[in-house]
Amino acid sequence: MKHDFDTVIDRMKSSSVKWDGAEGLFGAKDLLPLWVADMDFKVPEAVAEAVAKKAGHGIFGYTTRDDSYYESIIRWMKTRHNWTVEREWICHSPGVVTALSLAVQAYTEPGDKVIVQPPVYYPFMSTTENNGREVVFNPLKESDGRYSMDFDDLKSKLDKSVKLLMLCNPQNPGGTVWKKQELETLGDICLEHGIVVISDEIHSDLVFEQGSHVPFASISDRFAANSITCTAPSKTFNLAGLQTSNIIIPDAGLREKFEAETNRNAIGMPNSFGPVATEAAYTEGEEWLADVLDYVQGNLQFITKYFAEHVPALKVLPLDATYLAWIDCRELAMTPEELETFFLSEAHVALNQGKVFGPGGEGFVRMNLACSRSIVEKAAEQIRSAVNSR
């Protein structure tokens, strides 16, 4: 492996939400933070150099996105996901969560319903509710560590007030990569009932089997015309702080509505560093990404084996994608509140509690594995010690 991910980089006092913000959020000191989804790895060297060059220019005025920026995205989507994207489809948003909120505003009215499939990324719920829309749960089914969609339940919950479905593709927190057939069935149901699909594909580059991710809009022109796809380099290359995402909307009508909300909220312009970092990442970051995926898989294998041997009550579900381990803690027989207290007060590890991901998440925790192996080992030992001390 060319890149060094074993060296622990001190992120304290760097204004890191993950590290500096943990005590304030969780109300406890001396926590090992393995919660929010950013990496403890330095970005690819080419990205750091591109940002440094931009900083060296010394002028950070209003910024646009040039031809080479768009070309890097189009090339990445084609080579990485076999998806042909047109330049005019690519819209700007500071982040995918922002795009989810804009989509709710653009495609629904107050009181309309939005389908989400829990356990799922919790901003799916909050962006819906914060905009005065109703969340309708279509819970996923879990079998042998893999999630599947419950289409019968979905059909039973559809009525004329359901206007939008939020799809997490790949799935977060479960790490399932949806198969083409599953997406086709979902897409056909949504087309039949006039439901727009918002496909959050921010983790699409973090699949362990390259080529296994299927962009929802790539399946057919019909699906493309009924969907918007949320992408970003933030998870892939650890660029979340640069506030740049690319929302791909093939249909001109849907695109016009989305951009109208972007303009209404006055957030249509990128910062000075996001575009140059994105272009450098998509142009020169593939080798770095391959090493990251190998390293994360190593961390996943370690934690899976360690818990199986030393803490069998905790079971790590298999992952197709993401750097986020989804851990079944139900054998500990704790309430969600007791489980949260246990990890914070006894194990001294800050994790995302499964309850925040909606129905079906209770009794699970999500652990960020995009960090040095020694940190994963320390967390595993602290959890083992805490469980064995009960």
What are 273-295's pLDDT values in tens digits? 999 999 999 999 999 999 999 99
Measure the CA–CA gap between 361 and 338, rounded to whole angstroms: 15
Neighbours of 247 (CB within 10 A): 25
Contact present, 131 and 103 (Cβ < 8 Å) = no
Peptide bond into 170 cis (omega under 30): yes
pLDDT of residue 146: 93
**Do residues 367 and 34 touch, judged by C-beta distance below 8 A?**
yes
Mean pLDDT over 56-68 rounds to 96
Residue 29: predicted pLDDT: 87
Share of the chain above pLDDT 70, in %: 100
Q: How confident is the model at residue 145 (pLDDT cuts 50, 70, 90)?
A: confident
Interstrand relation of 90-93 and 146-148 (parallel, antiparallel or unpaired): unpaired
**Distance from C-alpha of 191 to C-alpha of 187, rounded to nearest angstrom:** 6
Above 90 in pLDDT, residue 1? Answer: no
The answer for residues whose C-beta is within 8 angstroms of residue 206's C-beta and 6 or more apart is: 170, 235, 236, 293, 296, 321, 322, 323
Digit-coded pLDDT (tens) for 342-365: 999 999 999 999 999 999 999 999
**Would you say residue 340 has pLDDT above 90?**
yes
Q: What pLDDT, on the 0 to 100 scale, is given for residue 144?
A: 87
Query: Which residues sit opposite 135 in a β-bridge?
Result: 114
User: Residue 390: what pLDDT?
Assistant: 84
**Region 262-271 average pLDDT:** 95
pLDDT at 297 over 90: yes
Question: Where does the pLDDT of residue 30 fall: very low under 50, low under 70, confident under 90, or very high at 90 and above?
Answer: very high
86: buried, middle or exposed (CB in 10 Å: 19+, 13-18, 0-12)? exposed
Q: Which residues contact 26 (CB under 8 A, 6 or more apart)?
A: 344, 350
Res 20 pLDDT > 90: yes
Q: In which residue are the tokens 């093939």 written?
A: 250
Position 141 scores a pLDDT of 97
Token pair for 88: 């005019």
Q: Tell me what the pLDDT averaged over the chain comes to.
A: 97
Question: For a pLDDT cut of 90, what percent of the chain falls above it?
Answer: 98
Residues sharing a CB contact under 8 Å with residue 203, sequence separation 6 or more, in sequence order: 170, 172, 235, 321, 322
CA distances from 198 to 104, 113, 185, 382 (A): 9, 14, 15, 39
pLDDT per residue as tens digits for the range 195-250: 999 999 999 999 999 899 999 999 999 999 999 999 999 999 999 999 999 999 99
Question: CB–CB of 94/247 below 8 Å?
Answer: no
- Separation of alpha carbons 164 and 167, rounded Å: 10
DSSP state string for 178-200? PPHHHHHHHHHHHHHTT-EEEEE
pLDDT digits (tens, 9 = 90+) for 37-54: 999 999 999 999 999 999
CB atoms within 10 A of CB 123: 17
Give backbone dihedrals phi and psi of 97, rounded to 5 degrees, phi first: -65, -40
